[in-house]
Amino acid sequence: MKPITLICLAALLTTPALAQVSPAVPDSAVTAPSAANSVNPVTIWGFADVYYGYDFPGRSQQRPAFLYSHNRANEFALNNGLIGLRYQDERARGAVTLHTGTYVGANYASEPEVLRHVYEGYVGFRPTQNTWLDLGIFNSHIGFESALSKDNWTLTRSLAAENSPYYEAGARFTYEASPKLTLTGLVLNGWQNLRDNNRGKALGTQLQWRPTEKLLLNSSTFFGNEQPQDSSRRRRYFHDFYVSYTATKKLSLTGIFDVGAQQAPGRRADVWHTAAVLARYQFTEKWVGAARAEYYQAAHGIIIQNIRPLGSENLFRVAGASLNLDYAHSSHVVARVEGRVLHGREQLFATDDAGMARTYGNITSSIAVSF
Structural domains in the chain plus CATH codes? 54-73+123-370 (2.40.160.10)
Distance CA 146, CA 23 (A): 15
Task: Identify which of 168, 156, 161 has the alpha carbon closest to the alpha carbon of residue 193.
Answer: 168
Distance CA 168, CA 186 (A): 10
Confidence of residue 315 (pLDDT cuts 50, 70, 90): confident
Cβ burial 27-58 (10 Å sphere, 16+ → b, else e)? bbebeebeeebeeebbbbbbbbbbbbbebbbb
Task: Identify which of 16, 7, 164 has the alpha carbon closest to the alpha carbon of residue 83.
Answer: 7
CA 165-314-309 angle, to 5 degrees, is 95
Listed in sequence order, the residues at least 6 apart from 110 whose beta carbon sits closer than 8 Å to its beta carbon are none
Confidence of residue 350 (pLDDT cuts 50, 70, 90): confident
Instruction: Give yes or no for a contact between 116 and 99, defined as CB atoms under 8 angstroms apart.
Output: no
> How does the average pLDDT of the chain come out, rounded?
87
178 beta partners: 181
pLDDT, tens digit (0-9, with 9 covering 90-100), for 66-79? 999 999 999 999 99
Confidence of residue 310 (pLDDT cuts 50, 70, 90): very low
In Å, how far are 201, 237, 272 from 308, measured between CA atoms?
A: 31, 24, 15
Q: What is the DSSP letter of 145?
A: -
- What is the pLDDT, as a whole number, of residue 129? 95
CA atoms within 13 A on the CB side of 246: 11
Helices and strands, counts by H and E, the chain: 4, 18
pLDDT, tens digit (0-9, with 9 covering 90-100), for 204-242? 999 999 999 999 999 999 999 988 766 777 899 999 999
| Distance of alpha carbon 58 from the chain centroid | 27
**pLDDT of residue 101 exceeding 90:** yes
pTM of the model: 0.84
Of 226 and 138, the one with more pLDDT: 138
Instruction: Give yes or no for a contact between 41 and 33, defined as CB atoms under 8 angstroms apart.
Output: yes
Distance CA 105, CA 69 (A): 10
Listed in sequence order, the residues at least 6 apart from 50 whose beta carbon sits closer than 8 Å to its beta carbon are 76, 77, 78, 79, 366, 367, 368
